Chain A
Amino acid sequence: MRVALFVTCINDTLRPRTGQAVVTLLERLGVDVDFPEEQSCCGQPQFNTGYRHATEPLVRRFDRAFADHEYVVTPSGSCAAMVRDNFPRIAARAAAEGRGRELAEAAARAVPKTYELTEFLVDVLKVTDVGAYYPHTVTYHPTCHGLRMLGLGDRPRRLLERVRGLTLKELPGAEECCGFGGTFAVKNPAVSAAMGADKVRAVTGTGAEALCTVDNSCLLHLGGMLVRQGSPVRPVHLAEILASTEADVAAGGGPGRAAGAAGGAR
Chain B
Amino acid sequence: MSRSFLGMPAFPRAADVSTRDTRLRANLTHATRTIRDKRARAVAELDDWAGLRAAGAALKDRTLRHLDRYLEQLEESVVAAGGQVHWAADAAEANRIVTRLVRETGEREVVKVKSMATQEIGLNEALAEAGIRAYETDLAELIVQLGDDLPSHILVPAIHRNRAEIRDIFRREMGKWGRPAPEGLSDSPAELAEAARLHLREKFLTAKVGISGANFMVAETGTLVVVESEGNGRMCLTLPETLISVVGIEKTVPTWQDLEVFLQLLPRSSTAERMNPYTTTWTGTTDGDGPRTFHLVLLDNGRTDTLADTVGRQALRCIRCSACLNVCPVYERAGGHAYGSPYPGPIGAILTPQLRGMAGPLEQSLPYASSLCGACYEVCPVAIDIPEVLVHLRERVVEGGPVTRGGARVVLKPARGHAAERAAMRAAAWAFDHPGALRGGMRLAARTRRLHPRRLPGPGRAWSDTRALPAVPAESFRDWWRRTRGANGNSETGGVE
Binding site for B on A (CB under 8 A): 7, 9, 11-17, 19-20, 34-41, 43, 45-55, 57-58, 61, 89, 96, 144-145, 148-149, 175-177, 179-197, 220-221, 223-225, 227-228, 262-266
CA A89 – CA B391 in complex, angstroms?
Answer: 11
CB distance from A137 to the nearest CB of B (A): 23
Given contacts A50-B398, A220-B470, contact A185 B426 (CB under 8 A): no
Given contacts A9-B432, A13-B442, contact A196 B467 (CB under 8 A): yes
In contact, B490 and A46 (Cβ under 8 angstroms): no
A37-B481, A46-B425, A225-B466 known; 12 new pairs, CB 8 Å cut-off, are: A14-B471, A14-B472, A43-B429, A43-B432, A179-B329, A186-B459, A190-B16, A191-B330, A194-B19, A194-B25, A221-B467, A265-B468
In contact, B473 and A262 (Cβ under 8 angstroms): yes
Interchain Cβ contacts under 8 Å between A and B, 21 examples: A13-B472, A20-B480, A37-B494, A38-B494, A41-B428, A45-B425, A48-B394, A54-B425, A96-B310, A176-B329, A177-B375, A181-B370, A181-B371, A185-B467, A188-B11, A223-B470, A227-B467, A228-B467, A262-B474, A264-B471, A265-B470
Closest to B479 in A: A16
CB distance from B376 to the nearest CB of A (A): 10
CA A193 – CA B426 in complex, angstroms?
Answer: 27
CB of B373 within 8 Å of the partner chain: yes
In contact, B374 and A149 (Cβ under 8 angstroms): yes
In contact, B425 and A37 (Cβ under 8 angstroms): no
The residues in B between 149 and 201 inclusive whose CB is less than 8 angstroms from any CB of A are none
From B333, B369, B397, give the contact of A195 (CB < 8 A): B333
CB distance from A260 to the nearest CB of B (A): 8
Name which of B310, B334, B442, B481 has the most chain A CB atoms within 10 A of its CB. Answer: B481
In contact, B466 and A34 (Cβ under 8 angstroms): no
From A13, A57, A58, A193, give the contact of B466 (CB < 8 A): A193
CB distance from A229 to the nearest CB of B (A): 9
The residues in B between 451 and 469 inclusive whose CB is less than 8 angstroms from any CB of A are 454, 459-460, 462-463, 465-469
CB of B388 within 8 Å of the partner chain: yes
CA A225 – CA B25 in complex, angstroms?
Answer: 20
Closest to A266 in B: B471
CA A185 – CA B384 in complex, angstroms?
Answer: 24
CA A37 – CA B426 in complex, angstroms?
Answer: 21
Chain A residue numbers with a CB within 8 Å of B16 are 189-190
CA A50 – CA B467 in complex, angstroms?
Answer: 25
CB of B492 within 8 Å of the partner chain: yes
In contact, A51 and B425 (Cβ under 8 angstroms): yes
B382-413 toward A: CB 8 Å interface, digit per residue (1/0)?
00000010010111111100000000000000
CA A262 – CA B334 in complex, angstroms?
Answer: 39
CA A45 – CA B424 in complex, angstroms?
Answer: 11
The residues in B between 7 and 55 inclusive whose CB is less than 8 angstroms from any CB of A are 11-12, 15-16, 19-20, 25
CB of B62 within 8 Å of the partner chain: no
Given contacts A195-B333, A225-B467, contact A12 B477 (CB under 8 A): yes
Closest to A177 in B: B373
Chain B residue numbers with a CB within 8 Å of A34 are 490
Chain A residue numbers with a CB within 8 Å of B482 are 37
In contact, A46 and B12 (Cβ under 8 angstroms): no
CA A158 – CA B472 in complex, angstroms?
Answer: 32
CB of B101 within 8 Å of the partner chain: no
CB distance from B428 to the nearest CB of A (A): 7
CB distance from A200 to the nearest CB of B (A): 10
Chain A residue numbers with a CB within 8 Å of B372 are 48, 144, 181-182, 184
From B25, B426, B477, give the contact of A7 (CB < 8 A): B477
In contact, A190 and B467 (Cβ under 8 angstroms): no
Chain B residue numbers with a CB within 8 Å of A192 are 371, 462
CA A13 – CA B368 in complex, angstroms?
Answer: 26
B333-368 toward A: CB 8 Å interface, digit per residue (1/0)?
110000000000000000000000000000000011
Chain B residue numbers with a CB within 8 Å of A37 are 435, 478, 481-482, 491-494
CA A47 – CA B433 in complex, angstroms?
Answer: 15
Given contacts A177-B373, A180-B371, contact A189 B429 (CB under 8 A): no
In contact, B470 and A190 (Cβ under 8 angstroms): no
CA A89 – CA B374 in complex, angstroms?
Answer: 16
CB distance from B333 to the nearest CB of A (A): 4
In contact, A188 and B398 (Cβ under 8 angstroms): no
Closest to A57 in B: B433
In contact, A187 and B485 (Cβ under 8 angstroms): no
Chain B residue numbers with a CB within 8 Å of A186 are 459-460, 462-463
CB distance from B154 to the nearest CB of A (A): 19
CA A262 – CA B472 in complex, angstroms?
Answer: 10
CA A35 – CA B476 in complex, angstroms?
Answer: 13
CB distance from A220 to the nearest CB of B (A): 5
Chain A residue numbers with a CB within 8 Å of B12 are 187-191
CA A179 – CA B371 in complex, angstroms?
Answer: 6
CB distance from B237 to the nearest CB of A (A): 39
In contact, A148 and B374 (Cβ under 8 angstroms): yes
Name which of B367, B373, B421 has the most chain A CB atoms within 10 A of its CB. Answer: B373
Chain A residue numbers with a CB within 8 Å of B433 are 40, 57-58, 61
From B310, B374, B429, B476, give the contact of A58 (CB < 8 A): B429
CA A25 – CA B468 in complex, angstroms?
Answer: 29
In contact, A35 and B471 (Cβ under 8 angstroms): no
In contact, B481 and A185 (Cβ under 8 angstroms): no
CB distance from A153 to the nearest CB of B (A): 14
CA A53 – CA B414 in complex, angstroms?
Answer: 14
CB distance from B388 to the nearest CB of A (A): 7
Chain A residue numbers with a CB within 8 Å of B393 are 50
In contact, B463 and A191 (Cβ under 8 angstroms): no
Chain B residue numbers with a CB within 8 Å of A223 are 468, 470
CA A177 – CA B372 in complex, angstroms?
Answer: 9
CB distance from A26 to the nearest CB of B (A): 13
CB of B230 within 8 Å of the partner chain: no
Chain A residue numbers with a CB within 8 Å of B377 are 148
In contact, A191 and B333 (Cβ under 8 angstroms): yes
From A39, A57, A221, A264, give the contact of B435 (CB < 8 A): A39
From B378, B394, B422, B463, give the contact of A189 (CB < 8 A): B463
CA A19 – CA B422 in complex, angstroms?
Answer: 30
Chain B residue numbers with a CB within 8 Å of A148 are 373-375, 377-378
CB of B275 within 8 Å of the partner chain: no
CB of B59 within 8 Å of the partner chain: no
From A58, A144, A224, give the contact of B467 (CB < 8 A): A224
Chain A residue numbers with a CB within 8 Å of B481 are 19, 35, 37
Chain A residue numbers with a CB within 8 Å of B432 are 9, 40-41, 43, 58, 61
5 interchain residue pairs of minimum CB distance: A181-B371, A263-B473, A224-B467, A50-B394, A189-B462
Chain B residue numbers with a CB within 8 Å of A194 are 19, 25, 333
